[in-house]
Amino acid sequence: MAAHPEAVMSLAQSQKGAKTWLIAIGMTQILLHLLFIRRSQYPYLLPASSIFWAATAMQLYTQRHHLSLRDHRAIWGGLLLLAGVVYRGLHTFESDYFLRLYPLLVLVSLSLLASGVQGLAQYQGAFYLLGFFAMPWELLYLLDFTTWTTQLSTMLLRLMGFAVHQQGFTIALPGGAIEVYNGCSGVRSITQLLGLAWIYVTLTATQGRQKYLILLGAVSIGFFANGCRVALLAILSSQPDTLHYWHQGDGSLLFSLLAVLLLGLLLLSLPTRQGRFSS
């Protein structure tokens, strides 16, 4: 039996209105999340969260023709979860881990509102992205890459012809010395590049060995770029003002840029495929 034209038009208008509301709620949640991060002790999460939100929006946009809104009974569950997330977000403290979970929980609540429990599988790519962001990557500091970072920087200095001496975590040159702490071990550089690589493999639906090559390459590039930074700091250890610029000033950002450029070169060197972005 054919559907009545007026019923079809009414359903289409209803779904269009629902999509508009969902987009408006999603944009509001993004702005709230960025505001919460800005007032926290983790301002470095602001660019990362912005990138992951943008990547998630891009992923959902490319999948828009395959996403279906459904009438379901889980709408109240989605509303309650969203209300709970917003309430908890308004009562976060400065070093609250909930800031990492916020985007993922918002995605779950909006997915429930849109498609119910049975429709959650449609948003798999978005869950991959925000699930990665939600992971406690700070725990990598427990692995302590300090020894490896010190050894890498010492080796680079020797290859450049410097008379360098390593004792424990200390790198000594004739003009001065530096001590490598856990915070300078490269974990932040590694996680930043790993996040960008994860976004790439998710949006492009990269599979097989190429996927693992990209992720392993991101880790290696992040570690190498940080080792170069530590080696430069050792060279500049006898010049306090210049050392501060490259350690805590704007100079340190150049190594992050260098690492991103190297990752970009790696991605460009890979064989191209049909349908670069998943759809």
| pLDDT by 10-residue block (mean), the chain, 279 residues | 44 63 92 90 85 95 83 81 90 78 94 87 93 87 84 93 90 88 84 94 86 94 92 85 74 86 92 54
Q: Which residues pair with 116 in a beta bridge?
A: none
**Do 124 and 154 sit in the same domain of this protein?**
no
- Residue 71 confidence (pLDDT): 65
Residue 69 lies in a domain: yes
Distance CA 127, CA 198 (A): 12
- Which residue do the tokens 């010190």 mark? 150
Residue 42's pLDDT is 77
Query: Could you tell me how many helices (H) and strands (E) the chain has, helices first?
Result: 10, 3
The residue range of the domain holding 106 is 5-131
Single residue among 109, 131, 153 that ends a domain in this structure: 131
Phi then psi for residue 169, to 5 deg, are -100, 10
Q: How far apart are CA 254 and CA 258, in angstroms?
A: 6
This prediction's pTM? 0.85
Question: Residue ranges of the alpha helices (H) in 135-239?
Answer: 146-159, 187-203, 208-235
Whether residues 62 and 175 share a domain: the answer is: no
Q: Is residue 136 part of a domain?
A: no
Phi, psi angle pair for 193, to nearest 5°: -70, -35
Which pLDDT does position 97 carry in this prediction? Answer: 81
- Give the H or E element holding residue 110: helix 98-115
* 237 and 145 assigned to the same domain: yes
Based on the fold, state whether residues 160 and 48 are members of the same structural domain: no
pLDDT of the residue at 255: 85
Phi, psi for 115 (deg, rounded to 5): -135, 0
Are 75 and 42 in the same domain?
Answer: yes
- What is the residue-wise DSSP string for 121-135? GGGHHHHHHHHHHHS
As a whole number of angstroms, the distance between CA 231 and CA 213 comes to 27
Q: How far apart are CA 196 and CA 264, in angstroms?
A: 10
State how far the Cα of 234 lies from the Cα of 22, in Å rounded to an integer.
52
247 in any annotated domain: yes
For residues 197 and 193, give the distance between their C-alpha atoms in angstroms, rounded to a whole number.
6
DSSP three-state, residue 189: helix
Contact at 8 Å (CB) between 177 and 169? no
Q: What values do phi and psi take at 172, rounded to 5? A: -115, 130
Structural domains of the chain, count: 2
HSE-CB of 221 using CA atoms within 13 angstroms: 26
- Structural domain ending residue among the three candidates 97, 131, 165: 131
pLDDT score of 107: 95
Tell me the residue type at 93: F
